[in-house]
């Protein structure tokens, strides 16, 4: 129904605006409802819980991340340049929600929760996010060559998750420390990818990949 979609959208927009303005905990379901001009129960008709509104936030952040990156990625460039661009762009997209970082992660980390990045429910969102790093790797010139090949995008995505976690803890002005982390991490990763073809490291790389496989659910 058209009306239904409107209400759903209204709830999300109001909630996300209030999240950014006041943080997660200060934004009560009653406040969301009253700001949207609805009854509190109505929001629950569309979203089973407050956490699901956070999941909606993830979705938007991801879409925005891809949009923000779409302008840079087709241009080519080295793995290092592309990776740096994508990570900084991601931090930029998340910036408005910085103050709400704690609630952000607290919700996402719950193993059972639908919002968890590893959950079945967010499989689509996860694959969308991983595909961003597939593009990073595949579009790089010169082409990336490493025994980690097929796993590399997923490993980069895991790294991005780690950077996000760091970002949440980073209370520096404008998340400056996280940006520094990215600037330090990216050349390191690029060098490790190159080194991974070295004979001395080859068996270690294989072991890492085996471990990653073995340990996956």
Partner DNA sequence: GGTGTATCTTGAACACGTTCAATTCTGAAC
Partner DNA sequence: GTTCAGAATTGAACGTGTTCAAGATACACC
Long-range CB contacts (within 8 A, 24+) of 137-144: 137/79, 139/73, 139/74, 139/76, 139/82, 140/76, 140/77, 140/78, 140/79, 140/82, 141/76, 141/77, 141/78, 142/78, 144/79, 144/193
- Nearest-approach distance from CB 180 to a second copy, in angstroms: 6
* Closer residue to DNA (CB): 51 or 170: 51
Pick the binder of a second copy from 38, 105, 130, 159 (CB under 8 A): 105
x/- site string to a second copy, residues 60 to 99, per CB under 8 A? ----------------------------------------
Confirm if 15 and 53 have CB atoms less than 8 A apart.
yes
Q: Is 41 in the site for DNA (CB under 7 A)?
A: yes
3-state secondary structure of 37: coil
* Closer residue to DNA (CB): 39 or 75: 39
Which two structure tokens, joined as six digits, stand for 215? 């340990």
Q: Is 40 in the site for DNA (CB under 7 A)?
A: yes
User: 177: number of CA atoms within 13 Å, CB side?
Assistant: 10
| Tokens 């943080």, located at residue | 23
Q: Is 7 in the site for DNA (CB under 7 A)?
A: yes
Q: Pick from a second copy, DNA, none: which does 42 bind, CB < 5 to 8 A by kind? A: DNA
Pick the binder of DNA from 20, 29, 155, 201 (CB under 7 A): 29
Q: Measure the CA–CA gap between 122 and 16, rounded to whole angstroms.
A: 19
What is the CB neighbour count within 10 angstroms for residue 169? 11
- Nearest-approach distance from CB 102 to DNA, in angstroms: 14
What is the CB neighbour count within 10 angstroms for residue 29? 17
x/- site string to a second copy, residues 158 to 197, per CB under 8 A? --------x-xx-x-----x--xx--xx-xx--xx--x--
Contacts with DNA by CB under 7 A: the residue count is 22
Q: Is 109 in the site for DNA (CB under 7 A)?
A: no
Q: Is 159 in the site for DNA (CB under 7 A)?
A: no
Pick the binder of a second copy from 85, 90, 101, 153 (CB under 8 A): 101
């Amino acid at each position: 129904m058209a009306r239904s979609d409107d209400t759903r959208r209204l709830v999300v927009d109001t909630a996300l605006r209030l999240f950014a303005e006041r943080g997660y905990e200060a934004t009560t379901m009653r406040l969301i409802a009253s700001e949207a001009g609805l009854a509190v129960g109505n929001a629950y008709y569309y979203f089973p819980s407050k956490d699901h509104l956070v999941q909606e936030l993830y979705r938007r952040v991801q879409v925005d991340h891809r949009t923000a990156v779409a302008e840079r990625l087709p241009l080519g460039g080295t793995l290092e340049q592309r990776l740096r661009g994508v990570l900084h762009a991601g931090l930029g997209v998340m910036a408005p929600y910085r103050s709400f970082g704690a609630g952000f992660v607290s919700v996402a980390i719950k193993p059972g929760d639908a919002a968890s990045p590893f959950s079945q429910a967010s499989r689509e969102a996860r694959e969308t996010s991983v595909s961003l790093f597939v593009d990073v790797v595949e579009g790089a010139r010169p082409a990336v060559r490493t025994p980690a090949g097929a796993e590399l995008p997923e490993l980069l995505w895991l790294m991005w998750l780690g950077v996000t976690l760091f970002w949440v803890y980073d209370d520096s002005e404008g998340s400056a420390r996280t940006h520094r982390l990215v600037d330090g991490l990216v050349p390191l990763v690029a060098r490790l990818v190159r080194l991974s073809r070295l004979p001395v490291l080859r068996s270690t790389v294989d072991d890492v990949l085996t471990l990653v496989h073995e340990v996956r659910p």
